[in-house]
Amino acid sequence: MKRVLLAVGFMIVWAPRAAPHQLDEYLQATRLGISPDRIDIEVDLTPGVSVAPQIFAVIDGDGDGRVSPQEIEAYARRVVADLLLRVDDRPYPLTLILAESPSWAEIRDGTGRIRVQAVAEVPLRTRGRHRILYENGHRSMNGTYLVNALKPWSSRIEIVAQQRDRLQHSIAVDVDVRTTMDAFIWVGLPSTGLAALLLARRRQSARGHTNDHGGRRLWIRSDARY
């Protein structure tokens, strides 16, 4: 049920052009997936070639030259702890659901993305305008930030505005929520193609081990080692 993974096949609305990934940057790109009962947050962290060894050393807590599943989970929890989500001025806690580290070769070459995914239970069922505020406070060495909201999969939710700060640490997303009947009248039943895509994404699995946290499945994967 990780709807944030539905980035494939959906457009990013009003997304600014991304700058090239520099060798001395630690790029942190966030995508928000908004649905009637939850908000999914996916953060891809990509160290440039010149900062990759320092980032690797931070994650490799015991200094043994490899990143264990426990270490990438610990780092992912540090990232999630630095994220802030508010809806209509109310803060919502985030639960980590995925932590994934690429191979050291990918990190060393500046192409490896550390993936962190979290979810917040947010009921967006009240008809009308709502404001979602997100902030990435994970300020690492030479950090560069991008943030966008994905086009909602539900016809009940429409993004009407996005506003980012200059460095893209934060974003304010204004959404309009319709009732179920409103959505049926204007859009109709979901297409079989979309239903098939949702089913395929639910069946997709990651290589690694899992832990249960608060009733949610946490995927952990790490191949990184010197």
Q: Give CA–CA dist 156/188, Å, rounded.
A: 11
Q: Are 131 and 44 in contact (CB under 8 A)?
A: no
CA distances from 144 to 23, 55, 109, 167 (A): 11, 14, 18, 8
Q: What angle is formed at CA 201 by the lines to CA 198 and CA 203, rounded to 5 degrees?
A: 110
Structure tokens belonging to residue 179: 């009732």
Q: Are 29 and 46 in contact (CB under 8 A)?
A: yes
Per-residue pLDDT in tens (0 to 9) along the chain, 226 residues: 444 333 333 333 333 444 445 688 999 999 999 999 999 999 999 999 988 998 888 898 888 888 899 999 999 999 999 999 999 999 999 999 999 998 888 888 888 899 999 999 999 988 999 999 999 999 776 789 999 999 999 999 999 999 999 999 999 999 999 976 554 444 444 444 544 444 444 444 444 555 544 444 577 766 556 5
DSSP string for 44-83: EEEE-TTTHHHHHHHH-TT-SSB--HHHHHHHHHHHHHTE
Per-residue pLDDT, 158: 96
Q: Give CA–CA dist 152/38, Å, rounded.
A: 11
Task: With both helix axes pointing from N to C terminus, report the angle between 69-81 and 52-59 in degrees, rounded to the nearest 10.
Answer: 100
CA distances from 123 to 48, 88, 188 (A): 38, 11, 22
Structure tokens belonging to residue 98: 């995925």
Beta-strand (E) ranges in the chain? 26-35, 38-47, 83-87, 90-91, 95-101, 114-121, 128-136, 143-149, 157-164, 170-177, 209-213, 216-222
Per-residue pLDDT, 11: 33
DSSP string for 151-174: PPSSTTEEEEEEEE-TTSSEEEEE
pTM: 0.73
Residues 22-39: b if buried by 16+ CB within 10 A, e if exposed = eeebbbbbbbbbbbbebb
Which H helix or E strand runs over 185? helix 180-186
